Amino acid sequence: MATIQAVLRKKGNAQNLYPITIRITKDRRTSYISTGQYIDQKFWDAQNKKVKKSHPNAARINRLVLKKLSEANDKLLDAEVNEDFISASEVSESVKGKDKIDFFVLADLHLENLKNAEKHSQHLTQKGRIAKFKKFVGKDRLHFKEITIFLLKNFEGYILNQEKRKPRTAVNYMILIRKIYNLAISEGLAEHSNYPFGKGKIQIRIPESDKVGLSIEEVKLLENASNLTIAQRNAVNVWLISFYFAGIRVSDVLQLRKSDFKDGRLLYRMNKNQKIVSLKVPEKAKTILELYKEHSFGNNDLIFPYLRGTNFSDAQELLTRIKTSTRTLNRRLELVAKQLKIDKKLSMHIARHSFGNISGDKIPIQMLQKLYRHSSITTTISYQSSFMKKDTDDALDKVINF
């Protein structure tokens, strides 16, 4: 007697999402078939063995589960009709359909899980990378055994030489391909013997990034700049607010509201890691914030106008507006840099590097960790190492100044 049913496994992933699987029990032996779908526990109907209607993709996932259940049941029926012995693991291997689930099918499932977890920025970025890899391969189906060292080396060369992208970008592509390959191995869809990553194969090394920040003199040029257009002045003000608050990210600056400022402090929750931030409002920041008070309509209104009219409950729309606004700000900052003869690429991201550059060796690393809102001091040390030059400068002087 065999039983086949859909179950939600008890072990979740890093996002606290749980895998939907097909459990096959025959002759007191159990085997599982992965559907590739992960959901929050609250969306699983344990009584009816299906995804609740409240899940945004309930209908599609339930159709997939029903298809897997039907395939497993058909396999068992065929065995009974032919009076063949078949074990639970054999049914599982047959239904898994290793020849059906290729790299791009699994990649789509991975993207779907990101979307369901509302990781819209990651979803958008990784969707573009998968599309680029598919275009390079030149076909819609790619079996995992076809992902060879030779193919990956050629793709890496294409990104670096044809696309003229930076080494870090090429590494990001390799990390994503490796992630999906690892998922395939964990789900029994690919053999580890064909794995193209690791020692003597494709080794992923994250290149050290070249962090360049403005100097004190260059920041002063921005603070005292005149003859700017209104649009350029607004872009500079957004940049300075980011810098004055230890380089908070542009996505957070654009979403600052009047209600985030209380008793001379900035209190807000970071979008990247949901940490609560509490920082004193410097006098320089107060001066800029005062300029925008008269344009605010209420305590919950945005400080800067770039995201006004956005539906903040629509994460996809919010992400799109932030990206568009950031590109607009960066274009205007480039014009300002040219006018002020700042020989560095001025962008919103460089505000954080500028804070690191000016702080240099002046502030204890533990305090910088708090200002940067890093979870680990190792992250702070790694980030700040590009700007801490005093020890190496002194050491150099001791050798050559004779």
pTM of the model: 0.58
Cα within 13 Å of Cα(120), Cβ side: 13
Cα–Cα distance between 169 and 156 in angstroms, integer? Answer: 10
Cα–Cα distance between 189 and 199 in angstroms, integer? Answer: 22
Cβ contacts of 297 within 8 Å, gap of 6 or more: none
| Percent residues over pLDDT 90 in the chain | 37
Calculate ∠ Cα 68-70-76, nearest 5°: 105
What is the full DSSP assignment across 175-222? HHHHHHHHHHHHTTSS-GGG--BSTTSB---PPPP------HHHHHHH
Which one is predicted more confidently, 16 or 45? 45
| Residue 289 pLDDT greater than 80, yes or no | yes
CA atoms 299, 304, 310, 311: torsion sign: negative
Least confident interval from 73-82, 92-101, 321-330: 92-101
What mean pLDDT comes out for the span 43-50?
91
Cα–Cα distance between 21 and 38 in angstroms, integer? Answer: 9
- The letter for the amino acid at 335 is L
What mean pLDDT comes out for the span 204-216?
79
What mean pLDDT comes out for the span 332-342?
95
Is the backbone of residue 275 left (phi > 0), alpha (psi -120 to 50) or beta? beta
pLDDT the model gives residue 94: 56
Q: How many CB atoms lie within 10 A of CB 363?
A: 16
Q: Are 75 and 85 in contact (CB under 8 A)?
A: no
Give Cα 82 distance to the centre of its chain.
51
Least confident interval from 45-59, 303-317, 349-363, 382-396: 382-396
> Which architecture does CATH list for 216-348?
Alpha-Beta Complex (3.90)
| Residue 386 pLDDT greater than 60, yes or no | no
SS3 content of the chain, % helix, strand, coil (to 5): 55, 10, 35
Q: Locate CATH 3.90.15 in the chain.
A: 216-348
pLDDT the model gives residue 275: 65
Cα–Cα distance between 248 and 365 in angstroms, integer? Answer: 18
Instruction: State both tokens at 234.
Output: 């607004």
Instruction: State both tokens at 252.
Output: 């957070």
Q: Are 306 and 295 in contact (CB under 8 A)?
A: no
Cα–Cα distance between 171 and 207 in angstroms, integer? Answer: 8
Cα–Cα distance between 32 and 54 in angstroms, integer? Answer: 26
Residue 329's pLDDT band (cuts 50, 70, 90):
very high
Residue range 231-267, pLDDT digits in tens: 999 999 999 999 898 888 899 899 998 888 888 888 8
Cα–Cα distance between 87 and 27 in angstroms, integer? Answer: 8
Q: DSSP label at 300? A: T
Residue 119's pLDDT band (cuts 50, 70, 90):
confident
CA atoms 198, 160, 123, 305: torsion sign: positive
Which one is predicted more confidently, 148 or 300? 148
| Percent residues over pLDDT 70 in the chain | 79
Q: Locate CATH 1.10.150 in the chain.
A: 104-194
| Residue 78 pLDDT greater than 70, yes or no | no
Residue 296's pLDDT band (cuts 50, 70, 90):
low
| Mean pLDDT score across all residues of the chain | 82
What mean pLDDT comes out for the span 204-231?
87
pLDDT the model gives residue 95: 56
The CATH code of domain 104-194 reads 1.10.150
